[in-house]
Structure 1
Amino acid sequence: MQTLSRKLKSLSFFALLTLASTGCIKKMLVDGQIESTRKASVVVNTFSDWEVARRSASAGMSKLEGFHYLAPYNEDALFMLTKGWSGLAFGFIEDEMEQAQDLHGEDSELAEYHKARAAAAYVRAIYFGTKLLDMRHEGFEPAKKNAETMGKWLQEFEGEDDAIYLLWTAQAWISRVSLLKDQPEIVADLFIAYEMIKRSVELYPTYNYATGHTILGAYHARSGMAELDESKKHFEAALKINGGKALLTKLNYAARYYCAKVDKANYVKLLTEVVEAGDLLPEQRLQNTIAKRRARRYLSKERMANCNF
Structure 2
Amino acid sequence: MATNAVANAIANGPDVYSTDDDPELVRDAVPFGLKTMESLLEVVPRHRGLLLAACRGYTQYAYAFVQLDADLLGPEDYDRAVAMRGRAERLYLRARDFGLRALEIDYRGIGQELRLAPERAAARVRAKDVPLLYWTAAAWGSAISLGKDQPALVADLGAVMALVRRALELDESFDGGSLHEAMIVLEALPPAMGGSAARAREHYRRAVELSRGGKAGPYVTLAQSVSVMTQDRAEFRRLLHKALEVDPDRDPRQRLATIVLQRWARSLLAREDELFLEPDTLENGSEP
TM-score, normalised by the number of residues in structure 2: 0.90
**Structure with max Cα Rg:** 1
Deviations 1:252-275 (A, max 9, x none): 011112111211111101101222
**Secondary structure in structure 2 of the residue aligned to 1:42:** coil
Corresponding position: 1:131 with 2:101? yes
C-alpha distance in structure 2 between counterparts of 1:248 and 1:195, whole Å: 22
Residues 177 and 190 in structure 1, CA contact (< 8 A), matched pair in contact too? yes
Aligned counterpart, 2:12: 39
Residues 142-221 of structure 1: pairs in structure 2 closer than 5 A: 142-146=112-116, 149-159=117-127, 161-221=128-188
Per-residue deviation at 1:109?
A: 1.7
CA distance in 2, matches of 1:123, 1:152: 23
> Is the CA contact (8 Å cut-off) linking 1:206 and 1:241 kept in structure 2?
yes
Higher helix share: 1
SS of 2:13's equivalent in the other structure is helix
Q: Which amino acid aligns with 1:211?
A: S
* Structure 1 gap segments, 5+ residues each: 1-26
Alignment of 1:107-126 (within 5 A): 108-126=78-96
- Tell me if structure 2 keeps the 8 A contact 1:213–1:238: yes
1:230 is displaced (CA, Å) by: 1.4
Alpha carbons 1:82, 1:169 under 8 Å: kept:
yes
What is the CA–CA distance in structure 2 between the aligned matches of 1:175 and 1:135, rounded to whole Å? Answer: 24
Q: Report the Cα distance in structure 1 between the residues aligned to 2:115 and 2:93, rounded to whole angstroms.
A: 19
CA RMSD of aligned residues (A): 1.7
**What's the offset of the Cα at 1:288?**
0.5
- Please say if residues 166 and 197 of structure 1, whose CA atoms lie closer than 8 Å, have aligned partners that are also in contact: yes
Letter in 1 for 2:241: T
Relative distance call for 1:264 and 1:45 in structure 2 (3 A) is same
User: Given residue 104 of structure 1, which amino acid in structure 2 is its aligned partner?
Assistant: E
Deviation at 1:305, TM superposition (A): 2.2
Q: Does 1:71 align with 2:44?
A: yes
Note if contact 2:59-2:138 (Cα within 8 Å) is conserved in structure 1: yes
TM-superposed deviation, 1:304: 4.3
Between the two proteins, what is the percent identity of the paired residues?
A: 23
Unpaired runs of 5+ residues, structure 2, are: 279-288
Deviation at 1:38, TM superposition (A): 2.1
Q: Could you tell me which residue of structure 2 aligns to residue 306 of structure 1?
A: 275
| Partner AA of 2:125 in structure 1 | F
Alignment partner, residue 9 of structure 1: none
Instruction: Choose which of 60, 68, 81 in structure 2 pairs with 1:95.
Output: 68
Aligned residue-pair number: 275
Range moving further from structure 2, 218-227 or 253-262: 218-227
Structure 1 residues 272 and 185: alpha-carbon distance in aligned structure 2, compared to 1, 3 A threshold: same
